[in-house]
Structure 1
């Protein structure tokens, strides 16, 4: 959980040239003073102790609620070995619907599409047989030995009657890694299915129901167990410490744990600049701030418990997001920062995102994936494809795209789509409905809204995925969403070079760099030599240090400890923070610093 700090006598350029990086890949959040991370089987003994203190005359009962994706059978075995004499019941084996019945129940939400389904509103109890659950409850009513019920929805199955509640929590990124390795979805027979279909089942059905259920547990959890780690070494923390850590995190700057992934177009910038595995062929993606996918690491005594960052969003949405942003989006984190690395790689797919009306009507999503490309770095030949060329005939272009799907008639992108040169610190706005993609030899910080997978690929340059399977193209969806009036002149007027200086004073320049008026995110860039003052104005801020070696985030009132941020790191400042200052540290060697800050328009005063 540590990293090598760079020597103070090196500039950023010298430091990066030496192949070293101060980018922290495992940021942590401190547990409250006195908290303990319990490791391995000791966690199950602690759960038993907590239950014994409340069980009264009847044999104790513990509910172990497992987020879907956790290996319930393995957990049951582990508890049985650790606690001989305790009756351990696998709820899912005892009462879950048969796979065929479950598949039929959720089939309409999954659709036949490989990528896209329809958002569901299932609750976990719908995935269980009511008669079998009633039989289990009858068995528990006459129990004569200590009993532990394990499985997704265990708390609901025992009707909140447990003497202790344990949550085995799991981040979506870990679930995806397991599924890529052959794991199935919850109670599904789909181990050999491709990863996109597994993700679809999780995204549209399982995770929706699981998060809905999990929100009812947070205030009552007695023990939280890290379901991301192997059972023998998994950490656990008592409920009060878990809640205390997240309450503190909602009032101070923090970072989520980034994750990195290769891709067919992936590049080499992140590998070298952020000190990643040099043996990897490439890194295409980094989710540097996507709380619905990323994790948080809660730390005490050098040990950590990994939890989904979404837990913080679900537990403290008002403090984190701000009242106005919460009123607009609910307990969802609406801003996404991620990296797209094509340095030494290839073009992204030519794509378009759905309009709000389309994504709502077709997929049940409440808002769409408006986005933008901020160039962290770029080679001399870097370009961005953006908008259709003036005079393009829609039928001709769509016909050419359809012809390209046979693999024998490549789509001539530059005949139909504008190509703009891209250089470091350029910012391109991309409202939904605009044809776009980043070209090769770019390092993009993508600043966007958060609906994840709703990218309609139009042309993928004839490539297959890393799994050898052609990547999905969605021309029918794409054709219905392309805004053909966004031609060369419109794009030049609205989406390219939209930098407006708002404030200049000694040592500081503040600029508006986007996004387009159709997008709900406002982006401000601050260039400074020593410090820049900010205020959340009641809404969450997301920032990235796009220039300079390192800075610290401090509270003018001392409300939180100074928070260290390094080059290219994304950090979140909760709405509850209010005023804060980003300033050089005592060992900073850079002459100039730059941050980009994103927030939701219309929720504060800084967008005036």
Structure 2
């Protein structure tokens, strides 16, 4: 599945100490020199070989930096040996035997490896041999400064970490990792080179969680943090500096790097709004969520890029106590913009999303061991001629017949009378559709949808159960046209989860209306109707020059500017904590942010749409 990053106005500028800003070393040669300087310093105090762990996330390319360290080491008269941690793993067949219960026979979904750690896949005997060798080298006094670099996933595992004099953690973001995985270039556990047969479910259900638990451990153990998104230009900082950056950043509103994805219903409003090279059509773009990365400016002319989930080191400050205690480790929201503009009229079979539904928390816990179900909302940000949304079943629809047709089709055979079963609702700007689990629905096109949802999986696993996609071909990014294979359906899960909600119930419960909560001469706020099943509120703030809002010290919020040009969010208590967003951009406001102002920096009035958890 292709995706495109878009970093316009994504910079998060924060104020840190001069010492921290000056401590970040950037560039391959400079980072190599820093590592060698640390090795020499350690050697001078021990006069024995210095042992270095270079732990990291999938996707990190080790060769460029290791080559720099080796070459520069010669000129600095420091002997360097490297040991790949890939050699410490069990044989591939044993690794796959470990993974199989989580991969399952289900072609579309797996089961989360809830308790596994990277050591589960490592070979006891191989680790013991390396441990003995490293221990012996460490005991021996040497006349020359030397270091052994154990690099790769597992190098800093609990089986070895007490031996190391220096511990580095190399971080990587999700989007370039996915590019490598889709291109068959990812190097997984136990492999010394890429595995073109790597199964995406291995990452989403197993490897992500083993890497995450190892990262959580490493961030507490490390001496240095290395941002290594660009292998030719890494950025290295002492742990104390990294900790100050995260501790400071979690007190600011946080913008993320957007991603855009083409798709079967992809449209073209994005061409008027953003310049995204290579994007042929836009099904949706994600503006906030746990899968995205952040760019951090600490005032030293270098941008640090890291996963937004690094902020979960301070979970109560970031997501709030209730979410942290109820869903530990989870950033529970996703925000998307679903494109829907076409220059000329198109049939519904082109403009519409697949007809689909989502699972409840109970369903994903029982079937996939995920923590949270998928609860969605569609906010109509712009409505064009023939704007519409599919939501619920017609009162007279024969749902047994519908299920039979979908199962017989499996998206290979057209269902000519599909409109006889699902309801089409005309959309206007400002409409809000509530979409609790088990409700058949789909963006019908000719509208720009601000989609605000719960996020079922921090790994980014998509839990949409497709029932019917009009038996159409899918988007093929390499040729920039609709010549790809039809999408696979999930009729077994879908009809097991289907709540069979019909038109009258949908009209009475899911077509939400806004209710004014506060009005004064500066701004007003409203809150949309909800149903008990939905765990979050959708609210709006309208203002000409200035508005006010608060997290109450307990609600993480995600705000999106849907009317206006630019808005600044600024803390009342600490005005230096601020961020500017542009129209259609989202920002995460951490739970600890408290009372703040919204300041209009453009022409015209502003509307900000807010997503927040109901309980806090």
TM above 0.5: yes
Provide the rounded CA distance (Å) in 1 between the counterparts of 2:273 and 2:104. 41
Question: Compared with structure 1, are the counterparts of its residues 589 and 162 closer, same or farther at alpha carbon in structure 2 (3 Å cutoff)?
Answer: same
CA RMSD of aligned residues (A): 2.2
Compute the displacement of 1:401 (Å). Answer: 0.9
Alignment partner of 1:527 out of 542, 563, 569: 542
Compute the displacement of 1:556 (Å). Answer: 1.7
Question: Compared with structure 1, are the counterparts of its residues 241 and 24 closer, same or farther at alpha carbon in structure 2 (3 Å cutoff)?
Answer: same
Compute the displacement of 1:235 (Å). Answer: 2.6
Question: Compared with structure 1, are the counterparts of its residues 342 and 286 closer, same or farther at alpha carbon in structure 2 (3 Å cutoff)?
Answer: same
2:163 maps to which residue? 161
- Cα contact 2:223–2:238 (8 A) shared by 1: yes
Question: Compared with structure 1, are the counterparts of its residues 536 and 570 closer, same or farther at alpha carbon in structure 2 (3 Å cutoff)?
Answer: same
The answer as to 2:516 corresponding to 1:501 is yes
1:110 maps to which residue? 103
Helix, strand or coil: the match of 2:470? coil
2:217 maps to which residue? 216
1:401 maps to which residue? 406
Question: Compared with structure 1, are the counterparts of its residues 458 and 411 closer, same or farther at alpha carbon in structure 2 (3 Å cutoff)?
Answer: farther
- Deviation string 1:401-428 (CA, Å, 9 cap, x unpaired) is 1222262332533211111011222211
The answer as to 2:32 corresponding to 1:44 is yes
Provide the rounded CA distance (Å) in 1 between the counterparts of 2:161 and 2:577. 42
Helix, strand or coil: the match of 2:474? coil
2:612 maps to which residue? 599
- Cα contact 2:265–2:353 (8 A) shared by 1: yes
1:529-568 superposed matches below 5 A: 529-537=544-552, 538-568=554-584
1:174 maps to which residue? 176
2:585 maps to which residue? 569
Compute the displacement of 1:86 (Å). Answer: 0.6
The answer as to 2:444 corresponding to 1:443 is no
2:188 maps to which residue? 186
- Cα contact 1:411–1:459 (8 A) shared by 2: no
Helix, strand or coil: the match of 1:218? helix
1:178-577 superposed matches below 5 A: 178-184=180-186, 186-187=188-189, 191-193=195-197, 197-198=199-200, 200-229=201-230, 231-277=231-277, 280-313=279-312, 315-344=313-342, 346-405=351-410, 407-410=412-415, 412-451=417-456, 452-467=461-476, 468-484=484-500, 486-537=501-552, 538-577=554-593
Helix, strand or coil: the match of 2:53? strand
Unmatched tracts of structure 1, length 5 or more: 1-21, 604-608
Question: Compared with structure 1, are the counterparts of its residues 459 and 290 closer, same or farther at alpha carbon in structure 2 (3 Å cutoff)?
Answer: same
- Deviation string 1:79-126 (CA, Å, 9 cap, x unpaired) is 43443421111011x211222221111011012333311000210111
- Cα contact 1:37–1:305 (8 A) shared by 2: no
Question: Compared with structure 1, are the counterparts of its residues 138 and 348 closer, same or farther at alpha carbon in structure 2 (3 Å cutoff)?
Answer: same
Provide the rounded CA distance (Å) in 1 between the counterparts of 2:382 and 2:402. 31
- Deviation string 1:428-452 (CA, Å, 9 cap, x unpaired) is 1101110010012222111000014
Compute the displacement of 1:287 (Å). Answer: 1.7
1:576-595 superposed matches below 5 A: 576-585=592-601, 588-590=602-604, 592-595=605-608
- Deviation string 1:332-384 (CA, Å, 9 cap, x unpaired) is 11111122213226211111101222111000012101011112222121111
The answer as to 2:28 corresponding to 1:27 is no
Provide the rounded CA distance (Å) in 2 between the counterparts of 1:490 and 1:81. 70
Give the TM-score normalised by the residue count of structure 1. 0.89
- Cα contact 2:403–2:495 (8 A) shared by 1: yes
Provide the rounded CA distance (Å) in 2 between the counterparts of 1:406 and 1:539. 42
Provide the rounded CA distance (Å) in 2 between the counterparts of 1:132 and 1:89. 12
Provide the rounded CA distance (Å) in 1 between the counterparts of 2:590 and 2:395. 43
Unmatched tracts of structure 2, length 5 or more: 1-5, 141-145, 343-349, 477-483
- Cα contact 1:47–1:62 (8 A) shared by 2: no
- Deviation string 1:110-167 (CA, Å, 9 cap, x unpaired) is 1233331100021011111011011111110122641111011221242233222111
Give the TM-score normalised by the residue count of structure 2. 0.88
Question: Compared with structure 1, are the counterparts of its residues 79 and 399 closer, same or farther at alpha carbon in structure 2 (3 Å cutoff)?
Answer: farther
1:94-173 superposed matches below 5 A: 94-120=87-113, 121-143=115-137, 145-156=146-157, 157-173=159-175
- Cα contact 1:225–1:236 (8 A) shared by 2: yes
- Cα contact 1:90–1:151 (8 A) shared by 2: yes
Provide the rounded CA distance (Å) in 1 between the counterparts of 2:472 and 2:194. 26
Question: Compared with structure 1, are the counterparts of its residues 260 and 249 closer, same or farther at alpha carbon in structure 2 (3 Å cutoff)?
Answer: same
- Cα contact 1:256–1:291 (8 A) shared by 2: no
Helix, strand or coil: the match of 1:301? coil
2:479 maps to which residue? none
Provide the rounded CA distance (Å) in 1 between the counterparts of 2:544 and 2:123. 64
- Cα contact 1:235–1:304 (8 A) shared by 2: no
Number of residues of Structure 1 aligned to a counterpart in Structure 2: 571
- Cα contact 1:544–1:571 (8 A) shared by 2: yes
Question: Compared with structure 1, are the counterparts of its residues 96 and 80 closer, same or farther at alpha carbon in structure 2 (3 Å cutoff)?
Answer: farther
Provide the rounded CA distance (Å) in 1 between the counterparts of 2:422 and 2:357. 12
- Cα contact 1:117–1:204 (8 A) shared by 2: yes
1:70-85 superposed matches below 5 A: 70-72=60-62, 76-84=66-74, 85=79
Compute the displacement of 1:78 (Å). Answer: 5.0
Q: Which moved more, 1:428-437 or 1:528-537?
A: 528-537
- Cα contact 1:23–1:568 (8 A) shared by 2: no
- Cα contact 2:319–2:591 (8 A) shared by 1: yes
- Cα contact 2:512–2:530 (8 A) shared by 1: no
Provide the rounded CA distance (Å) in 1 between the counterparts of 2:12 and 2:25. 14
Helix, strand or coil: the match of 1:41? helix
- Deviation string 1:191-218 (CA, Å, 9 cap, x unpaired) is 4458xx42x2211111111111111122
Compute the displacement of 1:494 (Å). Answer: 0.8
Compute the displacement of 1:392 (Å). Answer: 2.3
